[in-house]
């Protein structure tokens, strides 16, 4: 479980263009659940995702990981939680790599290299042996029905295929949580529906899923366990579904 306590993120603090992207947000994200951050553009969803995913640090507040990322730190007991906001970058990197898989709005796939290499990329710093990483990557491409494109370059793929590559890449290190930022923004309704089906599969595997979206296909989907509604950097509503 992830616990966010009074987290705030201010950009350009103290300057005339100061902007509070996340304002004293407190919430809990359950393990093995699908949680949706819902809200219009500029509501702070993406910033909150980056704070939870160890890609940025809050200006104030704390974020606790219960049962996640402990293996990256020494000296933690079975009941201890990991407080990520006080960790230096070198420790955050380990947690980010092993605990979270990211699917970005614009996919952020690397052009000029193959689909297979894109999927394998996040595993390089982990240090696993390459044949094993390659086997895992091919298995994921097979799972998502794009193994025939393994040798193809990214720029040769359609939007839907690129998204599947992005999902495969997010899963290469077998993360505890998958974080997706506006994953359906560039997909039509059919592909968006297929995407949600894939996420239902992740939930069935016991993975936690955190999605930021203002697409009704996502936040009205029956697989969502909790929906947190944001506006102007604050939580204006949160609810769980049976």
User: Contact residues for other proteins (CB under 8 A)?
Assistant: 5-8, 57-62, 73-76, 85-89, 91
Structure tokens at 33: 């659940």
Q: To which residue do tokens 């203002």 refer?
A: 214
**Contact by Cβ (8 Å): 27, 52:** no
Can you tell me the distance from the alpha carbon of 46 to that of 54, in angstroms, rounded to the nearest whole number?
12
Shortest distance in whole angstroms from residue 128 CB to other proteins? 24
Say whether 110 sits in a helix, a strand or coil. coil
Shortest distance in whole angstroms from residue 88 CB to other proteins? 5
Of 7 and 168, nearer to other proteins (C-beta) is: 7
Shortest distance in whole angstroms from residue 21 CB to other proteins? 14
Of 13 and 151, nearer to other proteins (C-beta) is: 13
Which parts of the chain are beta strand (E)?
Answer: 2-11, 19-29, 34-38, 60-66, 81-83, 100-103, 177-181, 208-213, 226-231, 234-240
Shortest distance in whole angstroms from residue 232 CB to other proteins? 19
């Amino acid at each position: 479980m992830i616990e966010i306590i009074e987290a705030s993120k201010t950009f350009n603090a103290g300057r005339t263009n100061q902007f509070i992207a996340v304002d004293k947000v407190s919430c809990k994200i359950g393990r093995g659940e699908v949680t949706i951050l819902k809200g219009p553009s500029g509501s702070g969803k993406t910033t909150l995702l980056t704070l939870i995913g160890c890609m940025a640090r809050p200006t104030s507040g704390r974020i606790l990981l219960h049962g996640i990322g402990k293996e990256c730190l020494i000296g933690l007991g079975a009941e201890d939680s990991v407080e990520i906001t006080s960790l230096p970058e070198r420790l955050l990197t380990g947690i980010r790599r092993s605990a979270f898989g990211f699917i970005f709005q614009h996919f952020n796939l690397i052009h000029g290299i193959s689909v297979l290499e894109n999927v394998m990329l996040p595993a390089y710093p982990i240090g696993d042996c390459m044949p094993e990483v390659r086997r895992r990557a091919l298995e994921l491409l097979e799972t998502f029905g794009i193994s025939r494109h393994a040798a193809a370059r990214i720029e040769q793929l359609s939007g839907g295929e690129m998204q599947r590559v992005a999902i495969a890449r997010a899963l290469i290190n077998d993360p505890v949580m998958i974080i997706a930022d506006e994953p359906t923004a560039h997909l039509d309704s059919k592909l968006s529906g297929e995407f949600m089906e894939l996420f239902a599969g992740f939930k069935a595997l016991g993975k936690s899923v955190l999605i930021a979206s203002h697409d009704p296909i996502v936040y009205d989907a029956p697989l969502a366990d909790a929906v947190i509604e944001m506006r102007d950097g604050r939580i204006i509503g949160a609810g769980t579904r049976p």
